[in-house]
Structure 1
Amino acid sequence: MIETIVFDVGETITRDDRYWASWADWLGAPRHSLSALVGAVVARGQDNAEALRLLRPGIDIDAEYQAREAAGRGEALDEADLYADVRPALTALRELGVRVIIAGNQTSRAGELLRDLDLPADLVVTSGEWHVAKPQPQFFERVREVARAAPSATVYVGDHPANDIFPAKAAGLRTAHIRRGPWGHLWADDPEVAAAADWRIDSLFQLASIAKG
């Protein structure tokens, strides 16, 4: 029986299109150019941040992030950034008695913004707050701690094979790969992803039946 479900954030809970559009605007680049570069690094199996480095070689991403915040053009999240199934699906899981956790590779500021959305979750936390990021094993050790359930009764849901599915599986957790966002679509039928994922889903609504067993 599944007792806890833990969710990745980007392209699992939230859409990333506004995030990348804001970076393109800040750097004075066409939005479609950065979007295409994100697609390119996804296809190569690289981290999304490499798209910024391709667009602006030598960029200091941390410094640019701070400059954006100082200029009032920093991180933002609101209801429009959530996928439509998030609230009803998470609500349904909690009604089933499932512990719902959101834990992804985001900044501390993103954690604050997510909690401000008052999502139906028992815990919202980010790598910036834990000071360790996926795919590091220590991140998933923290996931196991906050899950308050055996690893075999805990599911980690994400779109990214290298950051979500493979390390969560290595940590002994159950895994659900969601087909959405560039990573989710491109790698959905990869044999290694198919082998590592206990479930492959197209919507968070499917998790209720998984939780029921």
Structure 2
Amino acid sequence: MKKIKFTLSLCLFAFTFENISAQDTNTDNHTVTISVPEVALVDIEPAATKNITLGFTAPTEAGNPVVANAANNTLWLNYSSIKSVADPTRNVSVKLNAIIPGIDIHVTAAAATGSGGGTLGTPSAQLTLSAAEQTIISGIGSAYTGNGANNGHNLTYALAPGSGPGGVAVYADLQATATTVATVTYTISDN
């Protein structure tokens, strides 16, 4: 009976030794190289109808000023960003190609909504557009807003007659005109 116990113990030892040896020779490895491109894209949506018309209504009573028509909030600012190691965040700036005498053009960006993700930027307060670039969205990291209307930052444009002393335009500079075209440019760039 002792002989059977000895043989059984020897078989278990041999089985365990074979499993250890097999684990040492059944492994291998390789490397995976990953490339992530730097991205900085911005656009205004909807692309087909991004040109807007704003205007004023004449007073019906002598002594009253012209009144700006309703604000326009049909446009959306979309962007895609993969930041570099050197620049932790990006901004979107806005500028006007030329000042229109007697008229202030205000733009406000809302907080980002829609199907985007990542570190989306923070909008600034209402801006009065000028020929100098102004930051409208700051602190953009690696992020995307989603594409098209109802994604990204909703833009609201409003007109006002000249703002007086210290303002961009003065009411005395207003001139009747059928159409004046101003170009608003948005730029995404590193801080």
TM over 0.5: no
Question: So what's the TM-score if we normalise by structure 1?
Answer: 0.26
Where is the strand percentage greater, Structure 1 or Structure 2? Answer: 2
